[in-house]
Structure 1
Amino acid sequence: MSLLRLERVHTFYGGVHALKGIDLEVCEGEIVTLIGSNGAGKSTTLKTISGQVKAKSGSILYEGRDITNTPPHITSLSGIAHVPEGRRIFPRLTVKENLEMGAFSVKDKKEIAERMERVFHYFPRLKERLQQKGGTMSGGEQQMLAIGRALMMKPRLLMLDEPSMGLAPIIVEQIFHIIRELNDEGMTILLVEQNAFQALQIAHRGYVIQTGEITMSGTGKELLGNEQVREAYLG
């Protein structure tokens, strides 16, 4: 069953045609990855879905409803959580305060506490640093906090933009293990990732984007074995 579908989506940054008729589908329970070089349109695709950037034309359907150009706070309330590139945590707030920001729409304190405990299941280190300011944490810890804050929304669709960027290999392994665990528990994930090998290893399906256009798609296994993909993105 399709949870998210993009149909002929065009997005512009001023006079720059960033997305040129993107067609993309994410089915419920999948990990779908979007790979491509820097500037290809990966982050723009996620921003267009979440409403941070407006689509010029085309449609974005979520649960069968048209959410094209819906404001970001409404998109998040509908069940889409977006973890942006560069983490974007609140550096002057504590870990606890950052996590609470992820549940901004929840009034029930018991529900907030239950969601926080679920985050600690995946990221026990955050529980150890509950009163530490986000900006004083390591890059890996900040990435955990950014994902944890998104999980506080209790999303149906989790969109991750470059979760491994700038992290040590051992932390990258931990992050990808948690992505797999979340998916095993039923969460649908749209993953943008520079590390194409890691992404395709865990993805059910993938899309290759070049200069704003989808040029190839297939299962993760198919794309891993594709000669063009191997030469361009797998080194």
Structure 2
Amino acid sequence: MLLDVRDLDVYYGAIHALQGISFHMEPGEIVTLIGANGAGKSTTLRTISGLIRPRRGTVTFKSQEISRTAAERIVRLGINHVPEGRKIFAPLTVLENLEMGAYTRDDPAEIRQSMERVFQTFPRLKERLTQLGGTLSGGEQQMLAIGRAMMAKPSLLLLDEPSMGLAPVVVEKIAEIIQEINATGTSILLVEQNAHMALTIAHRGYVMETGRIVLEGSADKLLHDPQVRQAYLGG
């Protein structure tokens, strides 16, 4: 098992944001968390990546318990988080943003290999190497955010709302890219309000409502589940 989340309770002050959630991932999977705004999806990713400490429960990655581990250490263990809203470094160039993604690594040859892999995945970034991140389009910024995460060579990539605010044609491209990255061996935990896109590319999924997991199954099963279709897929 790659990732095992058990009985996770997270609070924001008095607000009980995650209420005993449990789920797991196997190596090589794309797993998606779907649900409405406020369901706890982003909080789950932030807890796994060490940005939030749970009050109760465990997060185990490659058999190592990490729920009290510092975020920087979690990156070094092989988990990288692409946050909602992309959070690129707007005043830095595309190249500088990508180099920031490799800050935990010290082998120049391996870093160059990762850079080439990013350029193969995102040829447009290579064309814009000297352009400031803040001047890129929304789709290009999302590509840069994912590319920056790839520079850390993660075995688990946490993607938070990668399709948010993007045109449908760009959403399709991002979906293809997620599958391409997964095909090279990177496992992906995908948080997405675009449930149709998420369930089309994922292997398995979990449906979250108000801090709880209320449904789980293969992506195909959830895609055709009447409850899911009614609530998240427009009937």
Name the TM-score, length of structure 2 as normaliser.
0.98
For 1:132, what is the secondary structure of its paired residue? coil
- Match of residue 22 from structure 1: 21
Query: Are 2:167 and 1:168 aligned?
Result: yes
For 1:115, what is the secondary structure of its paired residue? helix
- Partner amino acid, structure 2, of 1:140: G
For 2:139, what is the secondary structure of its paired residue? helix
Query: Are 2:119 and 1:143 aligned?
Result: no
- Partner amino acid, structure 2, of 1:13: Y
- Match of residue 79 from structure 2: 80
Spell out, residue by residue over 1:104-155, the C-alpha distance to the aligned partner (whole angstroms, 9 max, x if none): 0222222222111100000000000001110111110000000000000000
Question: C-alpha distance in 1, partners of 2:60/2:128?
Answer: 38
Query: Are 2:77 and 1:44 aligned?
Result: no
CA shift, 1:181, in A, is 1.1
- Partner amino acid, structure 2, of 1:219: S
Which stretches in structure 2 are left out of the alignment for 5+ residues?
A: none
Question: Mean alpha-carbon deviation: is it higher for 49-58 or for 178-187?
Answer: 178-187
1:118-157 pair list within 5 angstroms: 118-157=117-156
For 1:55, what is the secondary structure of its paired residue? coil
For 2:85, what is the secondary structure of its paired residue? coil
Question: C-alpha distance in 2, partners of 1:213/1:18?
Answer: 9
Question: C-alpha distance in 2, partners of 1:78/1:41?
Answer: 24
- Match of residue 177 from structure 1: 176
CA shift, 1:30, in A, is 0.5
- Runs ≥4 residues deviating over 3 A: none
Spell out, residue by residue over 1:135-184, the C-alpha distance to the aligned partner (whole angstroms, 9 max, x if none): 11111000000000000000000110000000011111111001111112
Identity of aligned residues (%): 59
Spell out, residue by residue over 1:57-80, the C-alpha distance to the aligned partner (whole angstroms, 9 max, x if none): 100000011001211111100000
Q: CA RMSD in A?
A: 0.7
- Partner amino acid, structure 1, of 2:104: S
- Partner amino acid, structure 2, of 1:151: M
Question: C-alpha distance in 2, partners of 1:108/1:207?
Answer: 38
Instruction: State the number of aligned residues.
Output: 234
Question: C-alpha distance in 2, partners of 1:91/1:49?
Answer: 26
Question: C-alpha distance in 1, partners of 2:110/2:183?
Answer: 23
CA shift, 1:16, in A, is 0.5
Spell out, residue by residue over 1:13-36, the C-alpha distance to the aligned partner (whole angstroms, 9 max, x if none): 111100000101011111000000
- Match of residue 214 from structure 1: 213
For 2:199, what is the secondary structure of its paired residue? helix
Question: C-alpha distance in 2, partners of 1:182/1:109?
Answer: 22
- Partner amino acid, structure 1, of 2:165: G
- Match of residue 98 from structure 2: 99
Question: C-alpha distance in 2, partners of 1:207/1:158?
Answer: 17
CA shift, 1:185, in A, is 1.8
Query: Are 2:210 and 1:223 aligned?
Result: no
Spell out, residue by residue over 1:199-223, the C-alpha distance to the aligned partner (whole angstroms, 9 max, x if none): 0011110000000000000000100
Question: C-alpha distance in 2, partners of 1:193/1:26?
Answer: 17
- Partner amino acid, structure 1, of 2:63: G
Would the aligned equivalents of 1:48 and 1:69 in 2 still touch at CA under 8 Å?
no
